[in-house]
Amino acid sequence: MKQLITLTFFLLTITAFAQKPCEYSANVNDSIGSYKVTNDYLISEKYFGGTFDYIFFALAQTDGLPTLNLQLIQKSKDFIKANCFDKNSKIFLQLENGKIVTLMHIDRENCGTLIHDDKGFDNRITTGIFMFMKDNYEELKKSPVSIMRIKYLTNIEDYIVKRELTSELNGKVYKPNTYFMENMRCVE
């Protein structure tokens, strides 16, 4: 009887701590190289004054180099100010353990694409690719993120990274503050 209880406890422990499998939107290996990118994950959702802002992350690996793909989607019937990325753009992630992790933007300017939809909304989609720095890459796997600061070309914006976020866009529940802890292994 003791063996049965021990075996049951052991199996429950394994399933409770098992990592979910990595899901990729692209996973290519060919003669040129390798590329894989995780599915987009909602990190921030903000509604204010008729303007909707969404920030999505996806981790990518190109020939062994991990990067963070950021997608900013802004939606409004009013004028949308462009948030541009350039070679000096950065993402600062303050972790719950007090450390700050900095990600550097690649040397490519991007002010997004403006798309007008049939409901009268203007939609600006801006993407950026950010590189991890070797000295603090490991810290992202150890501690949740509490605050994110994005340095754009002309301004800086701060975002509180929530423990749990129920999206009004699709009704799904996200856990943005542990995104790196759960997904960094997918691009290593």
Answer yes or no: is pLDDT of 129 > 90: yes
Total-model pTM:
0.85
47 vs 1, 78, 110, CA distance in Å?
57, 13, 24
Please state the φ and ψ torsions of residue 66, each to the nearest 5 degrees.
-80, 140
Assess whether pLDDT exceeds 70 at residue 188.
yes
Q: How far apart are CA 175 and CA 44, in angstroms?
A: 10
Query: Hey, is 158 helix, strand or coil?
Result: strand
pLDDT for 102 beyond 50: yes
DSSP string, 117-155: -TTS-EEEEEEEEEEEPTTTTGGGGTS-EEEEEEE-SS-
Query: For residue 159, which of 17, 57, 23, 43 has the smallest C-alpha distance?
Result: 43
What pLDDT sits at residue 14?
Answer: 41
Average pLDDT, rounded, for the chain: 88
